[in-house]
Amino acid sequence: MTDMTGKVVLITGASRGIGAEAARVFAAAGANVALVARSNEVLAGLAGEIGEAALAIPCDISRYWEMQAAVSATVQAFGKLDVLVNNAGVVDPISHMAEADPEAWGQVIDVNLKGVFHGMRAALPVMLDQGGGTILTVSSGAAHGPVEAWSAYCASKAGAAMLTRSLDKEYAHLGIRAMGLSPGTVQTEMQRVIKKSGINPVSKLEWDDHIPADWPARALLWMCGVEADEFEGKEVSLRDEEIRRKVGLIE
């Protein structure tokens, strides 16, 4: 396990799924964790579970000023920011383009794309002033190929993947490690929403076809170590058995 003693990690979408598991994994590795999400009560419960190493920050990442305030609160509480995990994401509306609600479609972009940018923009001045940092963004296979009725999700994830590449190009020489994680399908609430839609092959998968949420959480921790340096500016795919082996998920 990568030792994160003394490190400070901010995780968006931390109230459930991959984000909640990442909070537990990073805290177990010794990190102080700032937990960001809109779900106040659930977030407070998770922070209480983790203890003094956790800070709950209610925040809507689609609003830049809220994300900026979350970063400021993190630095005020823990003194710095070493790692940002851009995990928050939504898949609704699942609908064909001719029937999609434009307002709801735009909200996916606000969270999945603008929210990622907001995290990067808020964290960068702090990290650059410190001399470096790691920014990890949860990506998806949908960033690289169309999926029926997921136009907003695919477009937003493709944009977020390009943000990671842009971040690496602009700031790698200043100590910023930017990477994406493509986890495949994961046992989270999002998969229940997808299942309920009944549209496209992903909705036909059974619960046991998905990997547990702690797998991508453990991969995110591994990505903070020097072993993952070769993936700077790129994506780590948990569909790759060699990656699963390096992370310690399989033998």
Per-residue confidence (pLDDT) for residue 186, from 0 to 100: 64
As to burial, measured by CB atoms within 10 angstroms (0-12 exposed, 13-18 middle, 19+ buried), residue 200 is middle
Residue in the block written with tokens 């963004």? 137
Mean of the pLDDT values across residues 159-169? 98
Contact at 8 Å (CB) between 30 and 7? Answer: yes
Whether 214 has a pLDDT exceeding 90, the answer reads no
Report the distance separating Cα 202 and Cα 194, nearest Å. Answer: 7
Looking at this protein, which amino acid is placed at residue 39? Answer: S
Per-residue confidence (pLDDT) for residue 187, from 0 to 100: 59
User: For the residues of 196-223, what is the DSSP string, one character each?
Assistant: HH--TGGGG--GGGSBPTHHHHHHHHHT
**What mean pLDDT is reported for the chain?**
92
Residues 6+ apart with CB under 8 A from 28: 1
Report the distance separating Cα 106 and Cα 183, nearest Å. Answer: 24
Report the distance separating Cα 238 and Cα 242, nearest Å. Answer: 9
Per-residue confidence (pLDDT) for residue 189, from 0 to 100: 67
Per-residue confidence (pLDDT) for residue 202, from 0 to 100: 74
CATH, domain 8-247, list 3.30.110.30, 3.40.50.720, 3.90.1150.10, 1.10.10.60: 3.40.50.720
Local confidence band at 123 (pLDDT 50, 70, 90 cut-offs): very high
Percent of the chain's residues with pLDDT above 70: 94
Per-residue confidence (pLDDT) for residue 250, from 0 to 100: 81
**Domain coordinates in residue numbering, the chain:** 8-247
Q: Tell me the C-alpha to C-alpha distance, in Å, between residue 204 and each of 20, 145, 146.
A: 26, 18, 17
Report the distance separating Cα 248 and Cα 95, nearest Å. Answer: 37
Local confidence band at 211 (pLDDT 50, 70, 90 cut-offs): low
Whether 205 has a pLDDT exceeding 70, the answer reads no
In three-state form (DSSP H/G/I as H, E/B as E, the rest C), the secondary structure along 120-163 is HHHHHHHHHHHCCEEEEEECCHHHCCCCCCCHHHHHHHHHHHHH
Per-residue confidence (pLDDT) for residue 56, from 0 to 100: 96
- The residue ranges of DSSP E strands in the chain, in sequence order, are 8-12, 32-37, 54-58, 83-86, 133-138, 176-182, 235-237
Per-residue confidence (pLDDT) for residue 156, from 0 to 100: 96
Per-residue confidence (pLDDT) for residue 129, from 0 to 100: 97
Q: Look at the pTM and tell me if it is higher than 0.75.
A: yes
Q: Which residues are catalytic?
A: 139, 153, 157
Q: Could you tell me how far CA 199 lies from the centroid of its own chain?
A: 25
Q: Determine which of 120-124, 151-155, 163-167, 200-204 has the lowest per-residue pLDDT on average.
A: 200-204
Per-residue confidence (pLDDT) for residue 181, from 0 to 100: 95
Mean of the pLDDT values across residues 219-235? 96
User: Does residue 90 or residue 176 have the better pLDDT?
Assistant: 176
Pairing mode, strands 176-182 and 54-58: unpaired
Mean of the pLDDT values across residues 220-242? 94
How many residues would you count in the chain?
Answer: 251
Whether 188 has a pLDDT exceeding 70, the answer reads no
